[in-house]
Every structure is written in C-alpha cells, then in structure tokens.
Amino acid sequence: MHKVLLHIAGPACLALIFIESGIPHWVKMRIWGRDAYKHRLKPFDCQMCMGWWLGLISGYLETEQAFSIYTCMQVVFIGAMSSVLAVLLYKTISK
C-alpha cells in the first residue's frame, strides 16, 4: 500500500516542483518570445496534465510492465490520483 501511495505522491510533487520552477515559462519564452503568454506548452505548463502523465509513467513502472485489465485500471488510478493531488497541492501552497 505504501508503494502505491509513493507512486501517487511522487509524480504529483514532481509536477508541482517542475511547473513552479519556471522552466516551462523559460522554454516558452525561448520558442515564442514576447508572445509566450498566448501559447500553451501542454503537458509542461499545467500541473494537472503533468501530474497525469508522470502518474501514468510511474504506475506503468510500478506494475512491472505486466498487462492485464487490473494493471491497466491500477495505472489509470495512479495517474488520476497524482493529477488530483498535484492540483490540490498547488491550491494549498498558492493560498
């Protein structure tokens, strides 16, 4: 159980740290210049998207690449929970 919680909280924290570090804004400024605020660079500028994809990768690595309906549900659950946790952490910290 602790391993699954680690696979949920880890990607959420990584997504939050990456988004708040300013790296996505720096990349957008290099690509689009002053028009960077008009463009999106998904999943790199959204906590929910980044948490989802990192959660899917973490869940896939946690299931040891065995394919079944149960493991697919587990990977999707980990991805969904890590994206929700990333948003909750962001809302809590930004208050």
Amino acid at 3: K
Q: What is the domain extent for residue 84?
A: 2-93
Q: How far apart are CA 17 and CA 38, in angstroms?
A: 23
State the SS3 of the chain: CHHHHHHHHHHHHHHHHHHHCCHHHHHHHHHHHHHHHHCCCCCCCCHHHHHHHHHHHHHHHHCCCCCCHHHHHHHHHHHHHHHHHHHHHHHHHCC
pLDDT tens by residue, 13-66:
888 888 888 888 888 888 888 887 777 777 777 778 888 888 888 877 777 767
Q: How many domains does one find in the chain? A: 1
pLDDT tens by residue, 36-51:
777 777 777 777 888 8
Residue 76's pLDDT band (boundaries 50, 70, 90)? Answer: confident
